[in-house]
Amino acid sequence: MAKTLEEARKKLDDEFGQVRRHLEKIHESLDRVEKAGPEDDLHGLLKDLEKTVQEARDGGIVGSGANGHRRALDDYLKLKEGK
């Protein structure tokens, strides 16, 4: 947990940025599904989309995804409220 409100805000902004970058990957994966035709592997494309969304939510090999943002937000709000 961050010791100051400023540190907590920086961590929150960093985590938010990571999640936003994941959203770009989700959009790219969704675009591939939307552009698929009858001869494309929809099952595989949807599986890739699901994996991409899961990485955004839970994190991948590096990073913690939206879970990290949730923790950073909680820390920030606690410090902001003085708890």
pLDDT in tens, 2-57: 789 999 999 999 999 989 988 999 999 999 999 999 999 999 999 999 999 999 99
Q: What's the rounded Cα separation, in Å, for the pair 57 and 19? A: 8
**Residue 42 lies in domain:** 5-81
Query: 4 in helix, strand or coil?
Result: coil
Structure-model confidence comparison of residues 63 and 7, the more confident one = 7
pLDDT at 64 (0 to 100): 82
Q: What's the rounded Cα separation, in Å, for the pair 74 and 81? A: 11
pLDDT at 83 (0 to 100): 64
pTM recorded for the entire structure: 0.77
Q: What's the rounded Cα separation, in Å, for the pair 76 and 18? A: 17
Is the pLDDT confidence value at 63 over 80? Answer: no
Domain count, the chain: 1
